[in-house]
Amino acid sequence: MDNVEHSDVAENNKVPETLDVVNPYDQTYIESIATVIWGDIDKYLSTAHQLYKDCNQWIPAFERVSILKKAAVLISQRADELAFLIANEGGKPLADARVEVTRAIDGVELCAKEISKLIGSQIPMDLTQAGAGRIAFTTKEPIGVVVAVSAFNHPLNLIVHQVAPAVAAGCPVLVKPARDTPLSCKAFVDILHEAGLPPQWCRFVACDISTSEKMITDPRVAFFSFIGSANIGWMLRSKLAPGTRCALEHGGVAPVIIDESADIDAMIPSLLKGGFYHSGQVCVSVQRIYAPKDKAKNIAQLLAEGAAKLIVGNAIDEKTECGPLIRPKEVDRVEEWVDEAVAAGAILMTGGKRLGESTYAPTVLFEPPANAKVSTMEIFGPVVCVYGYDDIDEAIEQANSLDYAFQAAVFTKNLDIATKAIRELDATAVMVNDHTAFRVDWMPFAGRKHSGYNTGGIAYTMHDMSQDKMAVIKL
């Protein structure tokens, strides 16, 4: 045997490890699950690939509709249980976890509805003499085996956005959740099976990093869906097998521009929600706010007053508004970045300290240096930065200065300023008089540049997981 064969034998003979899931606030044990070794994943891929290759085994559209509708009902019946699970394993406050469950229900129902829109079109053939005497049309087919790798911050709804479209498009799918939050993912996969989806069409795959990379880069994979950090996403894309398509959703350093005409009193609650929702652990969380110089300090102070009132604690406590960061080492990192910015001249308006091993105080910084980490990198924590500007063109230039571009926002009562921001901000979506973290699940959702590749959103993902086939009939 050569080295590769020896390696495969070792992988196949591995004993599954046990993954302990804990509450990120106090590390309280929740549950243990067994990880999946390569030998099992190899079998899953083979089965999934064979299901795809034999079109006679494809699940008819009406059955997919029925399965998804039943799944939505089952999620509704278990809404409280799932919301508690999201809060307990992921640290998202219960109030927000309940919203996530509602979104998951809506997302599954939307997938069922969108199946009716997986349609082809007639192609005119007699536009030239060469095509005359023929009729042609296209149909939609599933792209093949989908592998989805997800993040921790929306442990149910992200899985819905990756897995339910695959089911709707008729693709077999293997899904690897974040190691911190596998239980919500497993619950959804189990619900799909209970709703009538044969288990071989959707597999829950909790595994280690090396095994997941082997699965992702396997030539049997037709589509790779990834939600996570830019470094890992781009690395994995570079290793995909020839022909494998992908969608990557990374993070951003979301900018907000405040115009002179903005309604400040109405704006502050929106910015607080956009900046401190899930303790800033959102890929489009408000991070950089640019305000006119004569108003910037006051805006920072108003934000600081609101942030200081937020209740930080265990996400399963009904009173909690800001939960823990997902791991203690993330608190270490946020603390380091904030301390660095303050040492370099940023004014600390509120926060700037850890409250425990797993929590960090909601923090507002005024005028951190433009080259500080908090100004140039996604902090993924409860930190918002405010900067003053003299000219709105300068603010737009600063907003566009990074390699990350996702969602952006502008607050203004001036239509000219609104249209200028929409036109000139480098973003896939520009919110007017709303925070950058706004999203509904049927809208396109995507990052530019380092922030991602391809477009998310239910219908857009189903399109990516489908392919056209044309029939040309000579009369």
| Total residue count of the chain as it appears in this document | 475
| Assigned token pair, 300 | 């920072």
Distance CA(317)–CA(91), nearest Å, equals 10
Three-state DSSP at 154 gives: coil
Q: Which of 249, 321, 330, 378 is catalytic?
A: 249
Adjacent-strand bridge partners of 408: 430
The residue among 269, 262, 226, 217 whose CA lies nearest residue 244 is 217
Q: Strand, helix or coil at 127? A: coil
Contact 453, 248 (CB under 8 A): yes
Select which of 283, 322, 367, 385 is catalytic: 283
Is 202 considered catalytic here? no
Give whole-number Cα distances, 19 to 24, 49, 91, 156, 314, in Å. 14, 28, 18, 18, 22
Q: Are 383 and 49 in contact (CB under 8 A)?
A: no
Residues in Cβ contact with 425 at an 8 Å cutoff, skipping those fewer than 6 apart: 255, 257, 396, 399, 400, 408, 410
User: Cβ of 305: how many Cβ atoms within 10 Å?
Assistant: 14
For residue 112, which of 74, 71, 68 has the smallest C-alpha distance?
68
State the DSSP string of 254-299: EEEEE-TT--HHHHHHHHHHHHHGGGG-STT-EEEEEEEHHHHHHH
Residue 283 designated active-site: yes
Measured distance CA(255)–CA(277) in Å, rounded: 16
Cα–Cα dist 358/370, whole Å: 28
Pair of tokens at residue 428: 């896939």
Tokens 């400040």 label which residue?
A: 264
Catalytic residues: 249, 283
